[in-house]
Structure formats: structure tokens, C-alpha cells
Amino acid sequence: MRLSGLSIFALLLVAAPAALAQVKSGSDFLSPEMHRQQDDEARNPGFLWTLQGEELFSRRSGDAPACLSCHAEPKQSLRGAATHYPMVDAASGKLLNLEGRIEQCRSERQKQPAFGYESPELLGLTAYVASLSRGLRLAVATEGAAKPYLEAGKAFYERRQGQLNLSCAQCHDDLVGARLRGDTISHGVGTGYPAYRLEWNGVGSLHRRLRACSLGVRATQFDYGAPEYLALELYLAARAKGLAIEAPGLRR
């Protein structure tokens, strides 16, 4: 099925609400060749970012201790860490994604200025730490302190927005498998992020991808790290519970 622009409307009018199929990873909607390329460390360019992240992880930053000096043996000590993000930070009560946690260590423990969202440093470190959980299943907390954030994320996901007046769910639940501008619409989960996207010619965060979807329906693009996208990220992670982390993913 090939869709363009406003024909989505027509389609949604006639489409019976699809039975909620089991949520699948974005990789399952790639061509077989791209899927193989993603899984091959030698051919997935995203691994250049994880290598840079790994290098930065072990480097001292001025007087500050290296990440490695507190996180020795990261392949063991941080394996699985990414599966719990976003999570509510016990001290501040705020929702933190992996980027936020790394920035917290950067400013509070290394006492250095934050790297900033989408900086090569933060993308590299996030891709590196996420890659240490490749193959492990997402397992975010959704009860207790996380619950209000989860509900806000769900409400965002279901709300119609933008000039096209479309919700995330209308594409990523109801139109899964349909073709849109050369892509196959997936369930819209974040297990491959940070991901190398051909269109970006580089690695980008999940929030960069969310901004692209917001723009696609001519809705407000929230800032990187905005509370709205953090809550949405938690909801996407809850939908993807049990799916394996695949960062760095490879996308069109």
C-alpha cells in the first residue's frame, strides 16, 4: 500500500481499526539487506559513533575523572543499564532518559559543562552505553513514580495533533505496514536509538526522530529533552517492553 500526503485521511476513514498486533521492532520493517547491514558491526556506520563514545568514556576530561574510573569494566557493570531508561530519578523525582543520566554524571560527578543534546560527545556516549545492552530486553518501570509520566506519554501518543490532525497511534498502530514516502510504517518504538539514519548522514537521538514525526504532521516540535518527549519516550518503551535493544540501529 503506497500513501502520500492527504491520502492518509482517506485511508483512515475507511480503515477498520486494526486489531492491536504485537508490537515489533523497527528493524523488522527494514529491507532484509538493511537489516543484515544493521546487525553487522563492520558494515553498520553507527558503530563508528559507539567507538568514539567508548574512547571518550575512558578519557579524562581536564581534572575530572574519566567515566571509566567510576564505571570500571563497563561491558559488565553497565550491561543492561539502558534497558531501564527512561526512569524516574530517585533524588529529583524527574524522568531521565539515558542521555539525561549521562549528562547528570557529566555535570554532577565530572563537574564539567553538559555536552548538550545531539552533540557528537553525547550521541557517542549514549550510543556506546546503549550498545552495551544490545540483545537485552527493555524493562522500564511503569508503576509508582513512573506512572504519571507514563500516562502523560500515552495521552500524547493518542492525541490528534498538527495541521494534519493525526495522532501517533493513527500511523503507528492503525497504518503499520503501509508505505509512506518510501518508508514502511512501523510500530514506532525506540529500541534502535541512537540510530544511524541515511537521511541524516549520521547518528541521531530518538528525540530527533520524534521531532521529524511532529514536523511530518505539522505539529509543535518540542525541544530535545523536553518533558513532553521524555514522557512519550517512556510510553514507547513501555509499548516495546520485552523487545531487544538494537542501538545503534540503521534506518533510511
Q: Which is nearer to ligand HEC, 43 or 60 (CB)?
A: 60
Residue nearest to ligand HEC (CB): 26
CA dist., res. 112 & res. 19, Å (int): 49
Q: With contact defined as beta carbons under 8 Å apart, do 87 and 95 qualify?
A: yes
Residue closer to ligand HEC (CB basis): 145 or 213: 213
Measured CA to CA, the distance from residue 195 to residue 200 in angstroms comes to 10
Give the Cα separation of 12 and 6 in Å (integer).
10
Nearest approach, Cβ of residue 41 and ligand HEC (Å)? 19
CA dihedral 117, 123, 124, 127 (to 10 degrees): 140
Q: How far apart are the first and last CA of the chain?
A: 18
Q: Which is nearer to ligand HEC, 16 or 92 (CB)?
A: 92
Of 192 and 225, the one with the shorter C-beta distance to ligand HEC is 192
Cβ proximity to ligand HEC, 57 vs 224, nearer residue: 57
Minimum distance, C-beta of residue 13 to ligand HEC, in the bound complex (Å): 15
Q: How far is the CB of 248 from ligand HEC (least distance, A)?
A: 11
Burial class (CB in 10 A: 0-12, 13-18, 19+), 13: exposed
Cβ at position 8, least distance to ligand HEC in Å: 6
With the C-alpha atoms ordered 136, 84, 195, 160, is the resulting torsion angle positive or negative? positive
Give the residues lining the site for ligand HEC (CB under 6 A).
Answer: 8, 26, 29, 57, 65, 67, 70-71, 78, 81, 84, 101-102, 105-106, 109-110, 125, 129, 157, 166, 168, 170-172, 180, 183, 185-186, 188-190, 192, 209-210, 213-214, 216-217, 232, 236, 251
Instruction: State the minimum distance, in angstroms, from the CB of residue 81 to ligand HEC.
Output: 4
The count of residues in the chain is 252
User: Among residues 45, 18, 57, which one has the least CA distance to residue 177?
Assistant: 18
In sequence order, the 6+-apart residues with CB closer than 8 A to the CB of 102 are: 115, 122, 125, 126, 129
Closest approach of ligand HEC to the CB of residue 198, in Å: 12
Query: Least distance in Å: CB of 20 to ligand HEC?
Result: 16
Residue closer to ligand HEC, measured from CB, 47 or 204: 204
Quick check: 41 and 112 in contact, CB under 8 A?
no
CA distance 140 to 138: 6
Cβ proximity to ligand HEC, 106 vs 234, nearer residue: 106
Nearest to 194 by CA among 115, 131, 243: 131
Specify the residue for cell string 544490545: 134
